[in-house]
Structure 1
């Protein structure tokens, strides 16, 4: 017996003895997830909403270094990636894949829930604390960013991984139960075949042993008679008796291959009249006496001229079928048909659906009796079928050869599970590819949501240079004032002509803006005037009211 070492030495260039391509697959997976993280960062940076880009790229690089360790240290790696995601949203895809893998492999519910909750809490806390330094700028916006990234980077992947892991474990358990049930069925069928072969061996021993015993007895009498009448022929009689004895011994040895030589006891002991029309009629009458409505349809001659093996097989088929009717459908109508035509004997036993409630599944038989019948019929070279009818009844159909051959090869069906296993393997490969594609698409959708959430939070957060625009003040240059939106409007200038107060001394020119400085009021127009000296410095800001003009609205004219 060859023993397999508990810790086999890994093959060179392969991780833990696996194929060398495992490194390639792991590297390709890591590179793909890192590219998704860079895509999230690039989408936010393209919108001009990513502060500290160098720091965020450094965080993504740190996450890429931690990511391959998720198989050996799933919990610590997930927590570390959650912290990095709080610092930079580009690490979110790495945390999502780590959360999915941990949830799928972790069996204990409490441990899985604690790890996912701790990772989500760390992500939110890190984003909130880092907001004033490397985040949106204010703590509430950092909290909003963490609350937006936690579902997409931890919670949703964790839930999907939990469902995938439970489904995987359930399928494995169902497959193991199916294999166990298949092994139990095969063992039961083997036991039924062995029992039936033992019965066949006993029947052949009884039948042939009786005939050989008679031959031996007559040979002994012939030996005594020839000893006096013809001594020269006595040796021939001795040879016949010894050959008969040897045939009995060899018969027992050959029948021992089929099984132990058991015996049927009681009223069911098989005799030379077994399987004849009178015997089948007796079985039908016995069922009628038990309260079952049975009808016999016999076609063709009697079976008394057929070999004993055929007659006994016919008897066993009828008896087993009627026994099942007594057990499971005693109130149903039964038809027993025997057709002896040519070189075949066909036996059919059909019963209708019982009028009462169906038999509970737990009280049904094991099917071993039918398996034994199939073994007996197929050993003779016949065929056997037993199946429920669409109407709710059951049918047993056996075809026996009238003269079985000397060498019979029993029909052996192929393994019932081979096709199923092959189909399951093919379906498993296709299902694995479809599952991988679905997970890839789901991860892409999560990355899009991460980018949108990050961009939304950063876009809505106030920037350091944002705030109310400063107002023009005396002493500013002309360019500074125009930079604040103060632009001269010819229509306002025309409306103010003749209604404005005197200009200050040293005025070289004035500007009359409209937007933000001029207001329309009932009965007039409040005009702002900005006067500049020769050095283009603002020296005065005046406001005065211009009466309304009915014929025209100068502020509507560009």
Structure 2
């Protein structure tokens, strides 16, 4: 997201040129000025009416003091011109503020327009430009009661009121500018955080896919080696008895079929590349659904309360790739429960049948009492989603209404 995507949030949101402009009405970079919106017309109209109301009040006081003097006519003309000068103030905020600051010394009828111009300058321009005009405005506020005194007010009181109004309008404008800039910064930070989160998710998926090759070796090496041995025997013993040839051919056919089945399933079976090196378990058998009881027992030994409902009568009949994925899903869910819901009872349910698939659900309520929030990146759940999706299954997870957590995955189980 760039600032140009949200022009209404910029410090120059009131349809003025950017702060980097040259003050001539041409935006930095030579682009065309944005057109006024409905909101801009409403703001301009309210500003004009405000300046006109204060100008009429000042003219009434001038008529009471000067009667039919030509000074009243001069005040009327200059006051009207000052109010009309507010319409192009977005294009030349510095110049108009300077002119109205000088004019307000000559006629009090320009006081309202002068205050609006100061406010607009504070909104549109950085403090460096505002400081120069603001210093002149403070001098003008002190000189104006001396040049055009009001008999109804003490001179010191008039000077004090003028200075307070100048400080009030400039301070208000600076506050509006700061709030708009803060909104832009917060939106940019939110967009950056979303982009970084998407990048982390993409990196997690890329690393998970890179682990496919190692998983394929673990599962398919045995079957392909067996197939190669029997094919080599047929090649080097062409005179073998027909019974042995038939038996070797059957083994080759069965091994090839099973290898193809495993290959379809293994695409979604992922493992962290450094797991074997870190644990020293490179040669150990990979976990399957049959080892789920050991995983639950390990969690219970660590102090967790885990209820396991494994309704698959023969876990060994589940394909190795599918069982390993179920194992990894349950492992990640129990790890997350220990981190984010310590002391809560975790329920793991596994059901399924050939042709119907395997469904694993893990539920835990909200943790009892107060518990420290443990930060998590969510990369484990991203990896599990990738596992299940590439294996041809589905994966859902999220919080429940009572503050607990629910996880459900379905994986195919071919006949």
On whether the aligned pair clears a TM of 0.5, the verdict is yes
- SS of equivalent to 1:17: coil
Shift of 1:224: 1.2
Q: Which residue in the other structure is 1:315 paired with?
A: 327
C-alpha deviation, 1:296, in angstroms: 0.9
- The match for 1:206 among 195, 215, 218 is 218
For 2:40 and 2:376, the matched residues in 1 are separated by: 53
8 Å CA contact 1:195–1:372 kept in 2: the answer is no
Is 2:138 aligned against 1:125?
no
> Cα offset for 1:324?
2.5
Contact 1:59 1:88 in 2 (8 A): yes
SS at match of 1:366: coil
Distance 1:24 1:264 in 2: 62
- Tell me the equivalent position of 1:398: 409
Aligned to 1:387: 398
Match of 1:440 in 2: none
Q: Which residue of 2 aligns with 1:168?
A: 180
Give the drift of 1:316: 0.8
Superimposed CA distance per residue, residues 336-394 of structure 1 (whole angstroms, 9 cap, x where no aligned partner): 2112256132212233444464223xx42211011111111122333323334444443
Give the 3-state SS of the residue equivalent to 2:189 in structure 1: helix
Tell me if structure 2 keeps the 8 A contact 1:194–1:258. Answer: no
Per-residue Cα deviation, 1:192-213 (whole angstroms, up to 9, x for no partner) = 2122223344323432333222
Tell whether the 8 Å contact from 2:121 to 2:130 is kept in structure 1 after alignment: yes
3-state DSSP class of the match of 2:308?
strand
Mapping of residues 112-261 of structure 1, within 5 Å: 116=134, 118-119=136-137, 121-131=138-148, 136=150, 138=151, 141=154, 144-145=157-158, 147-148=160-161, 151-152=164-165, 154-226=166-238
Match of 2:64 in 1: 49
Tell me the secondary structure at the aligned position of residue 297 of structure 1: strand
Could you list the runs of 5+ residues in structure 2 that have no partner in the other structure?
Answer: 1-24
SS at match of 2:181: helix
Q: Which residue of 2 aligns with 1:324?
A: 336
Cross-structure match for 1:421: none
Taking the aligned partners of 1:299 and 1:27, their CA distance within structure 2 comes to 70
Greater helix percent: which structure?
2
Structure 1 residues 185 and 328 mapped into 2: Cα distance closer, same or farther (>3 Å)? same
Structure 2 residue aligned with 1:338: 350
Q: Hey, what does 2:372 align to over in structure 1?
A: 359
When structure 1 is superposed on structure 2, of 30-39 and 93-102 the one drifting more is 30-39
- Aligned pair in 2 of structure 1 residues 147, 270: CA closer, same or farther (>3 Å)? farther
CA distance in 2, matches of 1:129, 1:179: 54
Q: Is the 8 A contact 1:382 1:400 kept in 2?
A: yes
Deviation for aligned residue 1:124: 2.6
Matched, 1:280 2:292: yes
CA contact (8 A) 1:321 1:349 kept: yes
Question: In structure 2, do the counterparts of structure 1 residues 213 and 317 end up closer, same or farther at CA, with 3 Å as the change threshold?
Answer: same
**Kept after mapping to 2: 8 A contact 1:274/1:315:** yes
CA contact (8 A) 2:93 2:124 kept: no
Instruction: State the Cα distance separating 1:185 from its structure 2 match.
Output: 0.8
Query: Separation in 2 of the partners of 1:268 and 1:352?
Result: 34
> Does the 8 Å CA contact 1:79/1:122 hold for their aligned counterparts?
no
- Give the 5 Å matches for 1:457-468: none
1:305, distance to aligned residue in structure 2 (A): 2.9
State the secondary structure of the residue aligned to 2:317.
coil
1:97-112 equivalent positions in 2, closer than 5 A? 97-106=116-125, 108=127
- What are the residue-to-residue correspondences of 1:335-484 with 2, within 5 Å? 335-340=347-352, 343-355=356-368, 357-360=370-373, 363-403=374-414
Q: 1:99-128: per-residue Cα shift (whole Å, max 9, x none)?
A: 2222224555x8757754652x33432322
Alignment length, in residue pairs?
368
CA 287–73 in structure 1, closer or farther in 2 if over 3 Å, else same: same
How far did residue 302 of structure 1 move? 3.3
1:87 partnered with 2:116: no
Instruction: Say which SS state the counterpart of residue 237 (structure 2) adopts.
Output: helix
Query: How far apart, CA to CA, are the structure 2 residues paired with 1:41 and 1:365?
Result: 62
Q: Do the aligned partners of 1:288 and 1:294 also contact (CA within 8 Å) in 2?
A: yes
TM-score between the two structures when normalised by the length of structure 2: 0.71
Pair 1:299 & 2:299 matched: no
DSSP-derived class of the 2:351 partner: strand
Q: Is the alpha carbon distance of 1:29 and 1:169 closer, same or farther for their aligned partners in structure 2, counting shifts above 3 Å? A: closer
CA-to-aligned-CA distance 1:401-444 (integer Å, 9 cap, x gap)? 3349xxxxxxxxxxxxxxxxxxxxxxxxxxxxxxxxxxxxxxxx
Deviations 1:253-293 (A, max 9, x none): x97x99999474137669877332x3110111121222222
> Residue deviations 1:68-95, cap 9 Å, x none?
7856775564344233224323323322
SS of corresponding position for 2:411: strand
What SS does the corresponding residue of 2:64 show, helix, strand or coil?
coil
Greater C-alpha Rg:
1
Question: What corresponds to 1:503 in structure 2?
Answer: none
Distance change (3 Å), C-alpha of 1:114 and 1:42: closer
Tell me the secondary structure at the aligned position of residue 304 of structure 1.
helix
* Aligned-residue offset at 1:225: 1.6
Q: Does the residue aligned with 2:376 lie in a helix, a strand or coil?
A: coil
